[in-house]
Chains A and B, each alone.
Chain A
């Protein structure tokens, strides 16, 4: 409402966040877990004076830098880019609450970059003790950056006792922070071990002895990670807000995905135990790729579930998915959604000056006096700013499909009782007149009830949108 809404046709803007964020997580978790692994294993290699292991770890460090410092760092910045574009109000709020959290994270970024480059480029030139210390500086910095960003994303899911009058610490130490730190630390170690298997299976394919050693040791990190993921996941669930738990039970897709996540963590644990840990000869490129893809799928699914449980909010109880502050809703319901939006109001002034009263506000009654096609156009404006954050017109989660065969009355009722019908959707935040014009717009998009079903109601005359509806209602 405060900012222009970026219309991303077919996909919706927030789906861009999902794409970039998920891709980033695949690498950023390796940046943390891989850092801990490299520091720990390099220390071990120095201790036992295993030169071939050190040489291997050096090549692993090169791979690590190429992936994390380049792709990880840029996609991390990319998330900022995208959230600023697709959820500007929520980003504005998060930045104002957590600016010093991000600034602290930045300090750790600089430490990460500096130590990562020195760790790799001065390999063999620094004394082992200093080299190990620099490795641990990287590992600790990377883990602290995980802690800081986790506190922020956890806050989005459960704000705990935070109120706008309270500061950053109250927001940071929310009920979700520690469970998510445990789970993400585990996921980082687990994913790092899968990256190591992948790298070692190719790089050491002709050196069985070393490959077995690397595989056995990496599997220990991975198993520790799997245990942490499971414990953190259970803790995460217990600290979910009521609506988050309900979302997991209400949506069958989420139920299945949650079960897959927990099952896959246990399966991966046993695969690691019976595979690389006890039978390191299993580490072939095929097995490593399979395990790796399994890990990516589990990580991506975990992130998807985590995000789903905070619906309809971007910041729980504070900013809704459609970039409306929760406190603004009563005023929007009274004065109108179009009146409350900076850009919607300006748009209306230019295109429909006749609906404005002498005080420069939109007279909602006059919306219904506009010609029919203009009412549909105004409905489109409301759709863009109220609904397009989750629903495209005819692409991802398309409103045209979701309302297949619905009558205008059904559409209107769902709009007015939006949060009652689906608790994971935001409440209707406009007037009844605005709901009426939005209904006209959505009805103009909705597809007919699928034909050919035995009990199909879609045989009757078309409705006012020119399409058949479920009950043959033509009004």
Chain B
């Protein structure tokens, strides 16, 4: 079989927006999704560990995570809709076959996510009621494992999407009358594991910065100084681990698994090469910010909320943005082996697009108004 022959014909309706628009919103949505997703990915692991073995500040960290985790998961799930929507608009010829070929594992994401989310709530409600039963701890541990499994399944689908050669292998292995049974995974793809594990590295880094953010922006009681100092030390430690992890897995992914064609695409495009270089070194910026905080804490000085804490947050946001852009670029480069999705016919739906953009701005305004109201409430509580 020729992989290119398996690509569905382009939609006769044409793409409803220019390719740059689709890509922009896909990447923007992915960035917004990645932040909460990173936090629950590693955050729940920390909750599971510290709920079982934690004492003192580490136990407190698990409690703090637990209070906000239901909201973080809700935001992550809903923000994940955007990249999924625009993937289906611009990459439908690749997204649907990959999903069908691994149908059962892919659809199991819904079931796993439901259990994982309720597991988070079980633990959260337990802690809110000042209890910590064995069942609740087990729920947190199961949720943590389920989130990691879900990440693995996503890595499967999105690596299979850009590997049409493996479509053929899976199809030949699992079809009944030319219809795939969906009982497969993309485990023979060399990019699968580094892709999945690389994301884990970024998740560790994002979670480390979130711990600092949470400690310095939301922790207000009398023991806050000791907790904040502990949080800085702990975050610096796990961030360093995440950064090393990211470097190792990223190198494995780029130099160990990407084919020559894709690498040539990266090397042959100066701006792409530059963005890749920035992506590779970007974790250094939040790490330096955390290092500075660590040094100050060693001198018994708490870092300022508006100084190094804010700097670390902005720097980690840049890490995530660069990573999302690079991933998008690699995805396009990998697909070029089979088809150029940017060349699909466009039939822009201007008026719905304008209405959407207006609603988007109004929506942001309303969300901003609501957040302003709760900030005012929090400030009042702080003064009191």
Contact = CB atoms under 8 A, between A and B. Distances in A.
A117 B82 CA distance: 20
B349 A100 contact: yes
A70 B356 contact: no
Given A96-B15, A110-B78, A114-B370, A77 B377 contact: no
Interface in A404-442: none
B100 A70 contact: no
Contact of B177 (A70, A345, A384): A384
Given A95-B92, A103-B85, A109 B9 contact: no
Interface string B6-38: 111101111111000000010000000000000
A272 to B, nearest CB: 31
B99 interface: yes
B52 interface: no
B171 interface: yes
A346 interface: yes
Nearest to A137: B366
Given A4-B97, A6-B103, A74-B117, A93 B11 contact: yes
Interface stretch (B105-113, B214-222, B237-245, B314-322): B105-113
B190 interface: no
Interface string B177-188: 111111000000
B121 interface: yes
A10 to B, nearest CB: 12
Overall SS of chain A's interface: helix
Residue among B14, B71, B175, B352 with the highest chain A CB neighbour number at 10 A:
B352
Contacts of A84: 88, 95-96, 99
B114 interface: yes
B140 to A, nearest CB: 16
A143 interface: no
Residue among B70, B97, B178, B370 with the highest chain A CB neighbour number at 10 A:
B178
Interface in A71-89: 71, 73-75, 77-78, 80-82, 84-85, 88-89
B363 to A, nearest CB: 4
A6 B182 contact: yes
Residue among A6, A103, A342, A377 with the highest chain B CB neighbour number at 10 A:
A103
Given A3-B100, A109-B78, A70 B349 contact: no
Contacts of B118: 70
A164 B268 CA distance: 39
B349 A347 contact: no
A381 B81 CA distance: 34
Overall SS of chain B's interface: helix
Residue among B71, B121, B360, B370 with the highest chain A CB neighbour number at 10 A:
B370
Contact of B13 (A96, A118, A383): A96
Interface residues of B, number: 74
A6 to B, nearest CB: 5
Nearest to B118: A70
B168 to A, nearest CB: 8
A148 to B, nearest CB: 10
Contacts of A270: none
Interface stretch (A122-130, A227-235, A295-303): A122-130
Contacts of A74: 77, 110, 113-114, 117
Interface string A338-357: 00001111110110000000
A381 B79 CA distance: 39
B252 to A, nearest CB: 30
B172 interface: yes
B101 interface: yes
Contacts of A109: 78, 81
A7 interface: yes
Residue among B5, B88, B377 with the highest chain A CB neighbour number at 10 A:
B88
Contacts of B95: 84
B5 A342 contact: yes
Contact of A107 (B113, B356, B371): B356
Residue among B70, B113, B177, B370 with the highest chain A CB neighbour number at 10 A:
B177
B373 interface: yes
Contact of A80 (B84, B178, B349, B353): B84
Interface string A105-147: 0111111011101100110011000100010010000000000
A160 interface: no
A6 B100 contact: yes
B109 A347 contact: no
Interface in B100-136: 100-101, 103, 106-107, 109-110, 113-114, 117-118, 121
A223 to B, nearest CB: 32
B89 interface: yes
Interface in B344-359: 349, 351-353, 355-356, 359
A5 B180 CA distance: 7
Nearest to B79: A110
A111 B359 CA distance: 11
Contacts of A342: 5-9
B96 A114 contact: no
B11 A169 contact: no
B271 interface: no
Contacts of A167: 349, 351-352
A122 B374 contact: yes
A92 interface: yes
B70 to A, nearest CB: 8
Interface string B53-97: 000000000000000001100110111111011101100100111
Contact of B367 (A5, A110, A388): A110
Contact of A385 (B13, B178, B371): B178
Nearest to B16: A99
Contacts of A122: 374, 377
Contacts of A92: 8, 11, 88, 92, 96
Nearest to A165: B347
A20 B110 contact: yes
Contact of B355 (A93, A104, A325): A104
A85 to B, nearest CB: 5
Interface string B182-220: 100000000000000000000000000000000000000
Contact of B106 (A2, A69, A81, A388): A81
Contact of B107 (A82, A88, A101): A82
A340 to B, nearest CB: 10
Interface in B302-360: 349, 351-353, 355-356, 359-360
A2 B5 CA distance: 11
Contacts of A73: 74, 77-78
A252 B96 CA distance: 37
Nearest to B32: A110
Contact of A343 (B6, B84, B86, B99): B6
Q: Give 10 nearest A-B pairs by CB, closest first.
A: A100-B352, A7-B179, A380-B177, A2-B8, A88-B96, A347-B178, A78-B110, A384-B179, A107-B363, A96-B13
18 contacts: A6-B182, A70-B114, A80-B81, A82-B107, A84-B96, A85-B96, A85-B106, A88-B96, A100-B355, A107-B356, A110-B79, A110-B363, A117-B71, A126-B374, A343-B171, A343-B178, A384-B179, A385-B178
Given A73-B74, A85-B99, A91-B88, 12 more contacts: A4-B178, A7-B182, A74-B77, A77-B110, A109-B78, A113-B74, A137-B366, A137-B370, A346-B5, A347-B175, A381-B179, A384-B177
Interface of B: 1, 5-9, 11-17, 25, 70-71, 74-75, 77-82, 84-86, 88-89, 92, 95-97, 99-101, 103, 106-107, 109-110, 113-114, 117-118, 121, 171-172, 175-182, 349, 351-353, 355-356, 359-360, 362-363, 366-367, 370-371, 373-374, 377, 381
